[in-house]
Amino acid sequence: MDELNEIKSKLAMASSGLHKTLENAEDIEEVDDEALDNIETARDAARRALELIDGDE
């Protein structure tokens, strides 16, 4: 169970970090829309994985 909690913790941190990265990247002119979309997709995937794990418990 400790491994599961570690995975969940890392997914939560990844989601949070990607959210902050997305906010910061939106303010940088050199970051194109495709890059922003990829960051957002990664953030959403981390959130979804966490939701799926929580649903299986």
Positive or negative torsion for Cα 42, 43, 44, 47: positive
Domain interval for residue 23: 2-56
Count of the separate structural domains present in the chain: 1
* Per-residue pLDDT, 14: 98
The amino acid occupying position 49 is A
pLDDT at 1: 67
Structure confidence at residue 50 (pLDDT): 96
pLDDT tens figures, 3-49: 999 999 999 999 999 999 999 999 999 999 999 999 999 999 999 99
Secondary structure letter of residue 33 according to DSSP: H
Give the integer Cα–Cα distance in Å for 39 and 45. Answer: 10
Query: Which residue type is seen at 19?
Result: H
Please state the pTM of the whole predicted model: 0.85
